[in-house]
Amino acid sequence: MNLHALDYINKNCVEVLEQASKDSGVNEAMIKGVALFAVANGYDKLSQNQKYHFDETIRPLIENVQCSGFYNPYSGDRVDCSAVLPDENLIAYYGHDETYCESCQSEADYMANRREQIERE
Ligand SMILES: [Zn+2]
């Protein structure tokens, strides 16, 4: 669990929380409140009820987040990937639209390089 990533979400991409609230069918404002409280005071200070909502809705955003899968610009295919992103990469994940696990990242870099080469030729 990466509360720094949650802090980042609270400040920069609160729409992630809004979407998660919708997905779990819970009140958006309540989830945002729990998220702010958890960052400010720590998970242990949440009430039982808040912990429940934190675990259901917020925790999956900041723990065991799955790689978004690799997009192949040549074939237009998205390659599914079940790799779990390291917690320390989560801020990067929310800072960019796409963040890949190491393997997908190197694949994406390779594709980008090749594309540059082709364009130069
Ligand atoms: Zn991946």
Tell me, in angstroms, the distance from the centre of ligand 1 to residue 86's CA.
11
- Among candidates 118, 34, 30, 43, which has minimal Cα distance to 74? 118
Last residue of a domain, one of 12, 42, 62: 62
User: pTM of the entire structure?
Assistant: 0.79
Residues 79 and 40 in one domain: no
Q: Which residues, in sequence order, are CB contacts of 5 under 8 Å at separation 6+?
A: 61, 62, 87, 90, 91, 93, 94
Domain identity same for 18 and 57:
yes
- Over 90: is that where the pLDDT of 16 sits? yes
Find the 69 Cα to ligand 1 centroid distance in Å.
5
Q: DSSP class of residue 3? A: H
Query: Ligand 1: distance of its center to the CA of 100 in Å?
Result: 5
Tokens, residue 119: 């364009």
At residue 98, the pLDDT reads 64
Ligand 1 midpoint to CA 29 (Å): 32
Q: Are residues 77 and 58 in the same domain?
A: no
User: 80 CA to middle of ligand 1, Å?
Assistant: 7
8 and 31 co-located in one domain: yes
Domain interval for residue 112: 70-120
For residue 40, what pLDDT is reported? 98
45-91 confidence digits (pLDDT tens): 999 999 999 999 999 999 999 888 877 777 788 788 889 998 888 98
3-class SS string, 27-71: CHHHHHHHHHHHHHHCHHHCCHHHHHHHHHHHHHHHCCCECCCEE
Tell me, yes or no, whether 39 and 80 share the same domain: no
Q: Beta-carbon neighbour count of residue 22 at 10 Å?
A: 12
Cα(40) to centroid of ligand 1, in Å? 32
CA 37–ligand 1 middle distance (angstroms): 32
Average pLDDT on 21-39 reads 97
